[in-house]
């Protein structure tokens, strides 16, 4: 399906949509019910593949998975962390497209890192990782903030990511080794004794952090497709975060 857009989205809208796509752990999956022909919405665990495409761990016994055996097309709604105020004034992102089995070991590990409790059942014979190909996007950043965004604007730019994939575990370890104070600065959150940030996953445009239920996205100024450039982007981003912390204190 060709990409169609009537206007250029604001940079803020693209950034917010990318963060929703990367940080979501659960989403509402809508499939077309094979028996009744009507939409069926269910809650599913979510992770982001290397380019940001949604990854789902689905059971063959689930009704939504059986529905995918028909048209294979679904709609996935992702929302931001719950916060104060009107929920309808918080950003949300809906992506549509076919959802197909995705037998990729690195993507499976990405899902487990995002959803560690899935280790309890990921080995069951009826479970498999699926990946959505994003064909259409509906983004709403809150009242008066609906923007038309193309898949090419939402997903990471294409390129050879082999070196990043191979080095992801060591790069995550390097991030964790920065220590709680620096990780809190990168997450743009205050430090306290109850919150310990850790790296969840990396990609060519940055990385994700979590501290219990809290999550944070760290964006680079430009993509990095090799480990040397990736470490340089990390150092640049850390310097900016620490300078921001000093200015705010």
**Inter-axis angle of helices 168-176 and 227-248, to 10 degrees?**
20
Percent above pLDDT 70 for the chain: 92
Q: Return the pLDDT at 179.
A: 93
Closest CA to 165 of 122, 219, 105: 105
Say if residue 86's pLDDT is above 80. Answer: no
Please report which confidence band the pLDDT of residue 89 belongs to, taking 50, 70 and 90 as the band edges. confident
Tokens at 136, concatenated: 């259409």
Mean pLDDT calculated for residue range 205-210 = 96
Residues of the chain with CATH 3.20.180.10: 163-242
Say whether domain 11-155 belongs to CATH 1.10.8.620: no
pTM of the model: 0.90
How does the average pLDDT of the chain come out, rounded? 90
Of 20-29, 139-148, 164-173, the poorest mean pLDDT is in 139-148
Q: In the chain, which residues fall in CATH 2.30.110.10?
A: 11-155
Q: Which fold, 163-242?
A: Split barrel-like (3.20.180)
The tens digit of pLDDT for each residue in 95-139 reads 999 999 998 989 999 999 999 999 999 889 999 999 999 999 999
Instruction: Provide the Cα torsion 217, 223, 225, 229; round to 10°.
Output: -90
């Amino acid at each position: 399906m060709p990409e169609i857009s009537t206007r250029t989205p604001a940079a803020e809208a693209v950034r917010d949509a990318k963060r929703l796509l990367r940080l979501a752990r659960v989403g509402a999956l809508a499939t077309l019910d094979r028996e009744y022909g009507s939409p069926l919405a269910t809650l599913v665990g979510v992770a982001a593949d290397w380019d940001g495409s949604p990854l789902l761990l689905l059971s063959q016994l689930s009704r939504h998975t059986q529905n995918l055996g028909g048209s294979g097309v679904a709609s996935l709604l992702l929302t931001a962390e719950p916060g104060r105020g009107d929920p309808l004034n918080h950003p949300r992102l809906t992506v549509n497209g076919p959802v197909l089995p995705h037998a990729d070991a690195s993507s499976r590990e990405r899902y487990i890192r995002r959803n560690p409790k899935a280790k309890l059942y990921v080995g069951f014979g009826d479970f498999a990782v699926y990946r959505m190909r994003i064909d259409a996007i509906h983004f709403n950043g809150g009242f008066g903030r609906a923007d038309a965004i193309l898949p090419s604007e939402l997903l990471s730019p294409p390129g050879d990511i082999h070196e990043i994939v191979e080095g992801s575990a060591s790069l995550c370890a390097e991030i964790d080794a920065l220590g709680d104070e620096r990780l809190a600065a990168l997450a743009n959150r205050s430090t306290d004794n109850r919150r310990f940030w850790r790296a969840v996953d990396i990609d060519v445009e940055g990385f994700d952090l979590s501290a219990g239920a809290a999550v944070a996205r760290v964006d680079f100024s430009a993509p990095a497709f090799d480990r040397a450039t990736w470490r340089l982007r990390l150092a640049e981003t850390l310097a900016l975060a620490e300078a921001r912390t000093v200015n705010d204190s």
